[in-house]
Structure 1
């Protein structure tokens, strides 16, 4: 009997550079238990194939083991070893909020294409500098963070770039009944509570995936 799940996993691994089932769960944005169940049942849910097509341009038929092109959207294919990610002028505040929100690109930094593709759509990635110490010690003043702008669904405890009215900041986010809570790692900073009525002031810019720090 053909191992449908194993074929799917091997093809996703070869295309996106993932190494294990945990990374597969991250790409699909599902729980590891869902991966375990699919492997046990030797099945691949159709919505996983659709998700990989939408986010990375992978051909669902090819993923299932059929012949045909690997990529259906050529612009999303891994066309080189490295991909330039833009760094924008805007800065994220690890504090009360930054008014420095310009989206002008000031430089590009190259990342391994396969690694970016394993995290999300490479053309939705952006780099931003951080100032302030409200997220210390995890994120410090002067750090640069990589943000996936396609990941705007809130997973409790994860770190996001978030805009509140005309300011932008970096915070952990939790959903509570009828409110959103923006949390700082530095306990000297109080949580920010946003009620249902204030939700239209909030925009999730994207999830923080990676941190770069220059030694001083």
Structure 2
């Protein structure tokens, strides 16, 4: 009987795909044809490697010689990117913007997203629009089709959410379950994040910090003023 071919398990396939993706990004190869040219191998060799979920050691050696790349970074994503930076074709900072982020699932691939101020573009406007001020790498598992990330500039939700924290808001979610954290816009003030409770024909927006007053909004205005629900918070818990 013919010998059964060895099958890759899920973990091996994930490792292979991530390592191959690092090779493509570091060399600028977008297709299998281009990758074969960079590695000076046949296209069938790449297909064979994928079937085995194994990257030949000689590929890593070739990439060190041609691009100065560190085999440990190619294989495991461990920095530095380059051993010989003088042969670098693409700046390391550009490559690292797409590397795994330190939060979320193990080895979750990161995505760079814009971060807005709480004030937005214009605090006088009737609706809130984001004003990007920086970027943040977050795991893909943290992303949503309408994700909005803001940097908190208020202490109203301390100690749950500290000043300077990054907050992920899903703009597709406009429901207001009691006790959930929602991002709500107040003209002339900007965005605020509070726990929301419905009380008759009004909504109570409750602060965690006792030094801040609770806010109220007529129920009829709540849908229009709600930017979305908070789905995650990233912050430094260590004393500054």
Q: Whose relative contact order is higher, 1 or 2, with alpha carbons under 8 Å and at least 6 apart?
A: 1
Larger strand proportion of the pair: 1
TM-score (norm 2): 0.45
Greater gyration radius: 2
